[in-house]
Amino acid sequence: MEFAQSINGSDSAAIQAGMNCEILDILYIRSNGEIPCNCSFGEQVNLDWAKSDADWDIDKVFYNSRFQHIRDSFKNGEMPWKECADCAFLNKDEPVRDLISQKRITKVHLEPSLACKLRCPGCSRVDQAKTRLSPFFMEPAIWERVLSSLSEKGYSVDLFFYCGQGEPINNPKFNELVQITNKYFPDTEQAVNTNGNHDYPSTIGRLGKDRPDLFIVSIDGLYQESYEKYRVRGNVEQALKFMEDAKSPDNPHPPVVEWKYILFKYNDSDEEIIGAQRKALELGVDRIQFVLTHTPEKSRKYTVENYHELPIISDIAYAQTTVQGLSHSIRGEQKSAQPQEIAPNANANIRVANFFFMKSGLMSIYGFVSNNATTAADRVSLELNGDPIGEIEIDPESKKTDNFFSLATQRPFDGERHKNLRVRLHANGQELAYSDFQYEFTDEANSRNVNPY
């Protein structure tokens, strides 16, 4: 994912040469402590190990011979490993970027567990469990040493993401992992990708206000008959109840909940898609994304060429695609950013992480906002070339450094190369600040992963 420009439009970590991949921006750790290249084909390449030893040092990982080989290869326009040829995260024509060298990590991706009761046919978990070294649950002692080292060395982290080949909440010590993250990085957002086949009150609910900020709940279908064709051994009612309990008025600390609905050939009827949106509204879910996949069972009815025709009936619903589908996208390059505070001492920070158009007609923008003023921001509004294009509510109670926002709407690329995007930050009906971003678009397709989760 791209976080190439800060609010002042500079990026000293970029080198105008070679090719690029997000591996020099992120840290991915498997449940057994392996630090693989990435969660695509890069999983076949291990770069080092996370350990609980007192002398374990994150800088010794980031500057070992394997990481240096990656840097040198990219600067020379070469692939570091043969596996890179099939990796969805490789960008052959993008300048090298090494945010790690600037003490910034855009995403720490942790696989808490390799265990899962589901048997989804597109998941490699079962095969990996036969060949990977144990343990299959991340040990809190290892996680604590990783985070303490990151903190000691002065690294900033934009996002902690709990996801992997297994189900994160299956780790019996998952709540302890979250508490450790809060201990060392209390102001950084935490997100979980879960199948939701759990009882929320007796698991996550016990964390109270220290629970993760965002839950992405994968429920591919509204009915058990369609849902279980992919989520084999899963219970759709239990997964829906997980979301309902998370957003319940009786829950004093509700997280943001996003329903992730992958479109397959057996769950893509208009009736079920519309029904899912109505159910999301009924449950109080914050967002529902309909995802186009590249797997064999993918929807034939809706593809990257026509998914602007999806029957979207709610403002909380939007369309998305897996990274493999982004060869159909036109992504803008951010040329400059000009911040302007309206309210005194707003202390606002507005960043746009990615702005792109799908060739099917979908426009997508996402980024992060924060402010340290007494009055916390509660809304983001966006304008494109002076025209309002949408508003997003954010949690005014959040004390996180960054609040994530995203906008996806049907607006085909009009061929205009230069676009001006204004992002405004509001609180209690008053504007706090805005920032103007200048973008330049080309027709070149780009396969960069656009979903930060």
Any domain includes 317: no
Position 265 in a domain: no
Q: In this structure, are residues 334 and 366 in contact, taking their beta carbons and an 8 Å threshold? A: no
Q: Is position 87 within any domain?
A: yes
- Residue from 110, 82, 84, 101 nearest 25 by CA: 101
**Residue 42 pLDDT:** 66
Which of these three, 145, 169, 194, is where a domain ends? 194
User: Could you tell me if residue 220 is inside a domain?
Assistant: no
**pLDDT value at residue 372:** 66
Predicted confidence at residue 118, as pLDDT, reads 95
- Is 191 buried (19+), middle (13-18) or exposed (0-12) by CB count in 10 A? buried
Q: What is the CATH number of the domain that holds 398?
A: 2.60.40.2060
From first to last of the 453 residues of the chain, give the pLDDT tens digit. 222 222 223 344 444 445 778 899 999 999 999 999 876 666 789 999 999 999 999 999 999 999 999 999 988 888 898 888 877 777 776 678 899 999 999 999 999 999 999 999 988 888 888 888 888 999 999 999 999 999 999 999 999 999 999 999 999 999 999 999 999 999 999 999 999 999 999 999 999 999 999 999 999 999 999 999 999 999 999 999 999 999 999 999 999 999 999 999 999 999 999 999 999 999 999 989 999 888 889 999 998 777 768 888 887 888 777 655 544 567 788 888 898 888 887 778 888 877 888 766 778 887 778 776 567 788 999 999 999 999 988 877 654 555 767 787 778 888 899 999 999 999 888 899 999 999 998 754 443 333 444
Q: Is residue 275 part of a domain?
A: no
pLDDT the model gives residue 251: 93
pLDDT at residue 377, rounded to an integer: 85
Domain stop point among 194, 210, 243: 194
What residue numbers bound the domain in which 180 lies?
14-194
Quote the pLDDT of residue 54.
Answer: 96
Does a structural domain hold residue 451?
Answer: no
C-alpha distances in angstroms, 319 versus 229, 287, 292, 415? 22, 11, 8, 22
What is this structure's pTM? Answer: 0.75
What pLDDT is attached to residue 38?
79
The answer to whether residue 363 is domain-embedded is yes
Annotate 102-152 with DSSP letters as a single string: GTEESEEEE--BS--S---TT--HHHHHHHSPSPSB--HHHHHHHHHHHHH
- In the three-class reduction of DSSP (H, G, I as helix; E, B as strand; rest coil), residue 345 is classed as coil
Q: How far apart are CA 29 and CA 164, in angstroms?
A: 9
pLDDT at residue number 443: 55
- Look at residues 194, 209, 229 and tell me which one is the last residue of a structural domain: 194
Total of domains in the chain:
2
Question: Does the residue 1 lie in any domain?
Answer: no
Q: How far is residue 248 from each of residues 237, 240, 251, 277, 395, measured CA to CA in Å?
A: 16, 12, 5, 18, 16
